[in-house]
Amino acid sequence: MAVDLEIVCVGNELLIGKIKDTNAHYLAKQATRLGANVKRVTVIQDTLEEIASTIYEAIARKPQFIVTTGGLGPTFDDKTLQGIAKALNLKLEVNPKALAMVKQKCVEYAKKRHLPTEIELTPPRVKMATLPEKTEPINNPIGTAPGVRVDVQGTVLFALPGVPVEMEAIFNETIVPLVKHAVGSSVFCERSIFADNIMESRLAPLIDKVMSDNEGVYVKSHPKRTENKPHVELHLTIIACQEQMPAEKLVKVAKQLAVLIKANGGLVTVELEE
Amino acid sequence: MAVDLEIVCVGNELLIGKIKDTNAHYLAKQATRLGANVKRVTVIQDTLEEIASTIYEAIARKPQFIVTTGGLGPTFDDKTLQGIAKALNLKLEVNPKALAMVKQKCVEYAKKRHLPTEIELTPPRVKMATLPEKTEPINNPIGTAPGVRVDVQGTVLFALPGVPVEMEAIFNETIVPLVKHAVGSSVFCERSIFADNIMESRLAPLIDKVMSDNEGVYVKSHPKRTENKPHVELHLTIIACQEQMPAEKLVKVAKQLAVLIKANGGLVTVELEE
């Protein structure tokens, strides 16, 4: 059974083109390679209404996992947890475990800089430890704001920080093992062949044939712009149980496609077998 | 009045991490700089259901503009127009204007390569000219598949190709003038100052004060990772009518913020005035 995963990136900076988001690509690529089916990425503004409605709608689609990035920091526009609370009709409360994590990070920081380690729990620091009730803080091995795990209606939602190194650290420590467990023996495989001297519109029926002959294999054509010469990458992918030998299946399908392309006047370059 | 714009990117290749999407960032940045309010980016798979439900929901949020990228090509998995038709309950039909555009592109292509210019309108070629009824094809100055304009319930939806150069060409030729007209004299301005030696959690109340004192100005803190030293970019933005002198307003607000940061022990670097 497919393990669906959705990604929600929160932050005005992503929508005004200030920051080129790299988190969604990282998460999508890693999750796919773990065998998950990444269904959707949604990038939204830092408003309570946008966050709440997006989370509400994502949960209604019943993916096994939702990963949000951004909006966990100390400033007023870090509203992801408020948005989650609103979407799920949960109260916000200071989480003692999260507060201890934030305090510990501030102490470590002060020590490193030889500053006094009597940490004042200012409102912005307490804010980072204010979580929706019934949720779990996750240790942030790099930054101050903890991640948060929310279990709701069969979906596990993880709220991660927007700073890429922090997001990646929590993803790898906490989420990867869970996704691996959920996908079981499913794996993702991919393989490309390159077609020259044949237009995409002539490749279309050949791709259709190969896909209808080989259930589960997805073939996507990527025309590459070159000087008036058609050059098309054909990217073959499959998510299937290891026992079904998906890598071997892709080799076979790639060969079938190559034969068809050559029979239609195209030239084919096949990736070397790994 | 704010001119809202949503972006929808269609393509499995974006969700499996095969392609790092650049279209959303390009469109978001350009549209923001024209004075539009980019509300959301949604990245979805190439299935009819995903496309139709995403378009349906986007239209229900009533943005002035929706721009989709991808899924206009000749292969079976190019389903954006089918998805739009399903979302809006429109029939698909061969559009004579679009068919002429596709034919013309094929003739040009054949001429360049010194091939016979008797163009056969194969099903994949006809597919690129099969549009939802009551919609308008848009000339693609670079590739074969025309763009499409759909007017629905006060929203103008543009379906653009996924190949970046084609998407950008149609965006600049056709969409930029319309967005400019819609935003009128509104402009987007931005300005950054950099705070050192002060943690983000101490900056938080200073940012709050400056924002509550200056309506319409948005201040976002971007902590930058450096060797144990806090270094935070404070990015000030505003969308306002030219007559309200938004650029001058940002200079004033940046100065106010710098004074507050210094009073709290921080160091400030201010961007040079342009």
Mean pLDDT value of segment A47-69: 97
A207:B75 CB<8 A: yes
pLDDT tier for residue B2 given thresholds of 50, 70 and 90:
confident
Cβ distance A218 to B13 under 8 Å?
no
**Calpha distance B236→A27 (Å, rounded):** 29
User: Rounded to the nearest 5°, which phi and psi values hold at A114?
Assistant: 55, 45
With beta carbons under 8 A apart, name residues in chain B contacting A8: none
What pLDDT, on a 0 to 100 scale, did the predictor assign at position A274? Answer: 46
Mean pLDDT value of segment B182-195: 92
A16:B38 CB<8 A: yes
Mean pLDDT value of segment B105-111: 88
CA distance B85 to chain A (A): 21
B40:A40 CB<8 A: no
What pLDDT, on a 0 to 100 scale, did the predictor assign at position B137? Answer: 98
What pLDDT, on a 0 to 100 scale, did the predictor assign at position B171? Answer: 98
**Strand locations in B143-205, DSSP E?**
147-152, 155-160, 186-196
**Calpha distance B185→B169 (Å, rounded):** 24
What pLDDT, on a 0 to 100 scale, did the predictor assign at position B247? Answer: 92
pLDDT tier for residue B170 given thresholds of 50, 70 and 90:
very high
Cβ distance A150 to A83 under 8 Å?
no
The tens digit of pLDDT for each residue in A229-256 reads 778 999 999 999 888 899 999 999 999 9
A163:B205 CB<8 A: no
The residue among A79, A18, A67 whose CA lies nearest residue A40 is A67
Mean pLDDT value of segment A89-117: 91
* Overall residue count recorded for chain A in this entry: 274
Candidates A15, A39, A112; nearest CB to B45: A39
Please count the residue pairs, one from chain A and one from chain B, whose beta carbons lie less than 8 angstroms apart: 180
The residues, any chain, with a CB within 8 Å of residue A3's CB and separated by 6 or more, are A35, A36, A37, A64, A65, A179, A182, A183, A186
With beta carbons under 8 A apart, name residues in chain A contacting B237: 12, 16, 18
The tens digit of pLDDT for each residue in A15-24 reads 999 988 899 9
Mean pLDDT value of segment A95-108: 94
With beta carbons under 8 A apart, name residues in chain B contacting A231: none
Mean pLDDT value of segment B194-199: 89
Which residue in chain B is spatially nearest to A145 when comparing CA positions? B201
- Each residue of A150-184: b (16+ CB within 10 Å) or e? bebeebbbbbbbbbeebbbbbbeebbeeebeebbe
pLDDT tier for residue A225 given thresholds of 50, 70 and 90:
low
Checking if the pLDDT of A92 tops 60, the result is yes
Candidates A12, A76, A203; nearest CB to B204: A76
The tens digit of pLDDT for each residue in A21-42 reads 899 999 999 999 999 999 999 9
What pLDDT, on a 0 to 100 scale, did the predictor assign at position A228? Answer: 63
Which residue in chain A is spatially nearest to B102 when comparing CA positions? A201
Q: Rounded to the nearest 10 degrees, what angle do helices B48-60 and B80-88 cross at?
A: 50
A13:B220 CB<8 A: yes
A220:B13 CB<8 A: yes
Return the bridge partners of B188, or none: B239
CA distance A6 to chain B (A): 10
Which residue in chain B is spatially nearest to A8 when comparing CA positions? B42
CA distance A82 to chain B (A): 17
B15:A30 CB<8 A: no
Checking if the pLDDT of B269 tops 90, the result is no
CA distance A125 to chain B (A): 6
Cβ distance A47 to A71 under 8 Å?
no
Return the bridge partners of A220, or none: A235
Domains of chain A by start residue, with CATH? 4-183 (3.40.980.10), 186-270 (3.30.70.1130)
- Strands ordered across the beta sheet of A218-224: A218-224, A231-241, A186-196, A267-270
* Overall residue count recorded for chain B in this entry: 274
Mean pLDDT value of segment A35-53: 97
With beta carbons under 8 A apart, name residues in chain A contacting B201: 74, 122, 124-125, 128, 144
Candidates A20, A165, A200; nearest CB to B25: A20
Q: How many CA atoms lie within 13 A of B44 on its CB side?
A: 25
Number of helices (H), then strands (E), belonging to chain A: the values are 10, 12
What pLDDT, on a 0 to 100 scale, did the predictor assign at position B227? Answer: 63
Mean pLDDT value of segment A187-214: 90
Amino acid sitting at position B114: H
Q: What is the mean pLDDT of chain B?
A: 92
The tens digit of pLDDT for each residue in A134-167 reads 999 999 999 999 999 999 999 999 999 999 999 9
What pLDDT, on a 0 to 100 scale, did the predictor assign at position B113? Answer: 78
Instruction: Count the helix, strand and coil residues of chain A and give each as a percent rounded to the nearest 5.
Output: 40, 25, 30
Cβ distance A209 to A260 under 8 Å?
yes
Mean pLDDT value of segment B24-47: 96
